[in-house]
Structure 1
Amino acid sequence: MNMEQPLSPPRQAQAATPRATRADYMAADDKAMLRAARDLTKGLGEAKPGIYWPDMLASALAGYGGIALAILTDSLAVAIIAGLVASLALYRALMFIHELTHIHRDALPGFRLGWNLMVGIPLLTPSFMYEGVHTIHHKRTQYGTVEDPEYLPLALMKPWSLPLFVIVALLAPIALLVRFALLVPLGAVIPAVRKFTWERFSSLSINPDFRRKPPTGDFAKRVRWQETGASLWAIAVIAGSFAIGWRPLVIALAIVSFTALLNQLRTLVAHLWENEGEAMTVTAQFLDSVNVPPPGLAAEIWAPVGLRYHALHHLMPSMPYHDLPEAHRRLARELGTGSTYEGANHPGMLTLVGRIAKSTMIRR
């Protein structure tokens, strides 16, 4: 198809027509936008090892180097700066777990194993905690419903729920340490503990009513070695702290806690959280999700590895993170001002937090 031919009404006509809202698209999709997403992104979509590997490895090494410097230095200022750098770098490294859930299993040979050994197991967040869970969030009939592990109608909840939602993330590293060092060994000998741990504490979800089903087939095998590795690492970390002192562990936990806090803030603004539980069209899901496109640079820090294009990702879940900027440019250029596509673009985190907080106040 000629990329210069419009796939939707001219920009001038779109701008003159009031933009439809998510509510308008609850029953029917914007088919012109969906066709454009399909046709304009031809030639994109191949995961490139030359981008994935250096990005992930550099982020992980910078993160661990920052932790080491924060532990070894005698300067409080250096420790704070090193800790901040480490937290941001590890945050970026961790976000590749999102890519692992979407890329084809044959696309990046060895990357899943390498990521788990370098990032997932050391940070007690192996890929099984997201694989098989996040894909439910993308299912047409389950997004935004009670079956969605990654959805809560936060914009419709009480005002106090927002700060609680964010602050509780600070406890995540401690909870993971307890899960792998204590609950996994106990579960090996007590089936009830194993069942409870798997159903309640084996997924990176925010829906407290979500219960995970038992793993099967090849996935069950991956779960076993990842969980065993993370459990042995967690036990070694605690045992080592008895030998060398608790200061290194406390510093590392503080750094990773800040990483978890930052990720929770990103999660808070990844969607508008305005759905009350009904099934939604793809377009409605798109408009309930958030893009924070350039020119702002801050979103590259708090929404790394393509997550600043989260709404676009919901249109094309398998698109590699490094192709999302180009896909966005093509769609924005073709569909223009006033289009449905522009309706998912937002200026930044503060604006989004303010919008969600205002909604909770209005509905109180």
Structure 2
Amino acid sequence: MTMHQTIDPAQPQPSAQTPPTRATRVQFMAEDDKAMLRAARDLTKGLGDAKPAVYWPDMLLSAALGYAGVAVTILSGNLAIQIVAGLVGALAFYRAEMFIHELTHIHRKALPGFRTGWNLLVGIPLLTPSFMYEGVHTIHHKRTQYGTMEDPEYLPLALMKPWSLPLFVAVALLAPVALLFRFAVLVPLGVVIPAVRRFTWQRLSSLSINPDFRRKAPEGAFAKRVRWQEAGASVWAIALLASPLAFGWRPLLIALAVLSLTALLNQLRTLVAHLWENEGEEMTVTAQFLDSVNVPPPGIAAEIWAPVGLRYHALHHLMPSMPYHDLPEAHRRLAGELGTGSTYEGANHPGMLVLVGRIARSTMIKRPGGTKQG
């Protein structure tokens, strides 16, 4: 059906140079853009199968580079080499660790052995076993919980105080030490003190940013996975704390410094994964999409700071089960079909600095009565 627009000569018309108005979350709080949702379903047919030939080499190579980088940083006596090796190690471990996001969405039978392999090679050694994200991240994707007080991965950062942003980023530097304390001290204490066990599980067992989130006790097969992953991480953490007796403090401190950089990178990515403009209201899928962020090509920097498909974070919220290796093609199809000025384009942003600037400016706006958080 062809639609004709009547032009009122009394009203000023946009010039050819005027960019189209960007779609926003507010426009779609009550009703979805059903045409975009249908396009996301129809245009991505043939995509969606997780490929072991992509997942395994990517994860293994990333982990190997991470360990090599840390080893060179510890063993080298040249400061320049240490800095380069430490940066390579942090970036490689960052990419390897981001596969935890994929583990929460892919079907458990899609990649036989991948969850166990990732936990043994990455999750447990880096003290972030997959149970810390599984069962938590899925809440973030629930239609009625995204962006609400029940969402473990949401804070209205754009509506909070200006000092909230640097604090949000800087606290990540302490994450490796906090994880070491959790697994080496609190887990063994929890075996004999039930109150410590409950506190550790409810408050310190999820990779979340909402301080009000309380995790429910694990059940069934998931509880079994928690037990072996937590036991493995606890034994490893105790070994790390004991390692200075044999090797001195230098190796452990260097490793913690590299992992602090990894945590900082992830926190910066988290800062720009959403626009953080919702304050507890339920949102449609389209509103959630527009509150989330794509940083598509041609820029290559986003592939470094938002690896394993996370540069397509808004698209991921449309299709949470889409494997990371299919997201670039899914984006290409949707962007090509829906075009400039579409709702889909409203979630596309040029880069991290622009996004940080937008959120920072938003925190400086004085709002009547303040916000509920911050």
TM-score range, shorter chain: over 0.9
Counterpart position of 1:236: 239
| 1:245 correspondence with 2:248 | yes
CA contact (8 A) 2:206 2:215 kept: yes
Aligned to 1:362, the other structure's residue is in SS state coil
Give 1:236 deviation, angstroms: 0.6
Per the normalisation by structure 2, the TM-score is 0.93
1:156-235 aligned at under 5 Å gives the runs 156-235=159-238
The CA distance in 1 between the partners of 2:77 and 2:22, in whole Å, is 57
Q: Alignment partner of 1:140: what SS? A: coil
Paired position in structure 1 for 2:12: none
Whether 1:298 aligns to 2:301 is yes
Instruction: Give the alignment's Cα RMSD to 1 decimal.
Output: 1.6
- Does the 8 A contact of 1:156 with 1:363 survive in 2? no
Match of 2:126 in 1: 123
What per-residue deviation string (whole Å, max 9, x for no partner) do you get for residues 58-79 of structure 1? 0000000010000000101100
Match of 1:132 in 2: 135
- Please give the alpha-carbon distance, in whole angstroms, between the structure 1 residues aligned to 2:362 and 2:126: 35
| Number of aligned residues | 354
Provide the C-alpha distance between the structure 2 equivalents of 1:241 and 1:235, rounded to a whole number of angstroms: 11
Q: Which of the residues 58, 61, 76 maps onto 1:73?
A: 76
The one-letter amino acid of 2:108's match is: R
Do the aligned residues in 2 keep the contact of 1:19 with 1:340 (CA within 8 Å)?
yes
SS in structure 1 of the partner of residue 243 of structure 2? helix
Cα–Cα, structure 1 residues 269 and 18, in superposed 2: closer, same or farther, change >3 Å? closer
1:154–1:356 contact (8 Å) kept in structure 2? yes
Distance 1:239 1:9 in 2: 73
CA contact (8 A) 1:151 1:273 kept: yes
CA distance in 2 between counterparts of 1:18 and 1:99 reads: 34
Shift of 1:16: 9.6
Mapped partners of 2:148, 2:73: distance in 1: 43
Contact 1:94/1:120 (8 A) holds in 2? yes
Which structure has the highest helix share of the two? 1
Give the CA deviation at 1:9: 9.0
Q: Does 1:141 align with 2:144?
A: yes
- Distance in 2 of aligned mates of 1:317 and 1:189: 39
Amino acid at match of 1:131: E
Q: Residue in 2 aligned with 1:153?
A: 156
Per the alignment, do residues 298 and 249 of structure 1 end up closer, same or farther by CA in structure 2, a change over 3 Å counting?
Answer: same
Identity of aligned residues (%): 82
Shift of 1:240: 1.4
Match of 2:332 in 1: 329
Q: Which amino acid letter does the alignment assign opposite residue 70 of structure 2?
A: I
Post-superposition CA distance 1:99-135 (Å, at most 9, x none): 0000001000000000000000000000000000000
- Classify the secondary structure of the residue corresponding to 1:225: helix
Is residue 51 of structure 1 aligned with residue 49 of structure 2? no
Q: Distance between the aligned counterparts of 2:214 and 2:24, measured in 1? A: 33
Give, in whole Å, the separation in 2 of the partners of 1:184 and 1:104: 29
Structure 1 residues 18, 69: closer, same or farther in 2, change over 3 A?
A: closer
Give secondary structure in 2 for the equivalent of 1:107.
Answer: coil
Q: Which amino acid aligns with 1:38?
A: R
**Counterpart residue number, 1:358:** 361
Provide the residue aligned with 1:279 in structure 2. Answer: 282
Distance 1:75 1:17 in 2: 53
Which one-letter code corresponds to 1:52 in the other structure?
A: Y
Q: Name segments (4+ residues, structure 1) moved above 2 Å.
A: 15-21
| Pair member with larger Rg | 2
C-alpha distance 72-19 of structure 1, shift in aligned 2 (>3 A): closer
CA distance in 2, matches of 1:138, 1:33: 18
CA shift, 1:191, in A, is: 0.2
Give, in angstroms, the shift of residue 18 of structure 1: 4.6
Q: TM-score, normalised by structure 1?
A: 0.95
The one-character-per-residue Cα deviations of 1:244-263 (angstroms, maximum 9, x if unpaired) are 10000000000000000000
Deviation, structure 1 residue 22:
1.2
| Aligned-residue offset at 1:362 | 1.1
Q: Does 1:308 align with 2:311?
A: yes
Give the SS at the match of 1:112: helix
Instruction: Please give the per-residue CA displacement for 1:152-205, whole angstroms capped at 9, x wherever unaligned.
Output: 000000000000000000000000000000000000010000000000000000
Q: Distance in 2 between matches of 1:17 and 1:70?
A: 50
CA distance in 1, matches of 2:159, 2:205: 27
* C-alpha contact 2:23 2:290 (8 A) present in aligned 1: no
The residue number in structure 1 matching 2:372 is: none
Residue segments in structure 1 that go unaligned for 5+ positions in a row: 1-5
Match of 1:114 in 2: 117
Report Cα offsets for 1:35-56 as digits up to 9, x if no partner. Answer: 0000000000000000000000
The one of 77, 86, 91 aligned to 1:88: 91
